[in-house]
């Protein structure tokens, strides 16, 4: 893949994420949609979003995305 093509794909991805953020009706919906789109963009079989509270020594793992392959 050429650098120009990669740049175009990355730009489309960022625009899709921005649109997803604009349309999300809740934080949970936003996190799920971004997790899914990041997984698809990177071509991975699984992706997830995790919040880490360093002061509270805790982590929260949000529902993850699995590719359908």
Q: Virtual CA dihedral for 37, 40, 44, 48, nearest 10 degrees?
A: 20
Measured in residues, the chain has a length of: 69
pLDDT in tens, the chain (69 residues): 799 999 999 999 999 999 988 999 999 999 999 999 999 999 999 999 999 999 988 999 998 999 986
Give the model's pLDDT for residue 63. 86
| Predicted TM-score of the model (pTM) | 0.77
Q: Give Cβ neighbours of residue 43 (< 8 Å, ≥ 6 apart).
A: none
HSE-CB for 32 with a 13 A CA cutoff: 8
Contact 46, 66 (CB under 8 A): yes
């Amino acid at each position: 893949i050429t650098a120009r093509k990669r740049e175009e794909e990355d730009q489309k991805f960022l625009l899709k994420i921005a649109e997803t953020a604009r349309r999300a009706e809740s934080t949970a919906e936003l996190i799920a949609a971004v997790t899914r789109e990041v997984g698809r963009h990177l071509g991975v079989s699984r992706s997830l979003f995790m919040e880490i509270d360093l002061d509270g020594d805790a982590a929260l793992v949000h529902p993850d995305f699995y590719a359908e392959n």
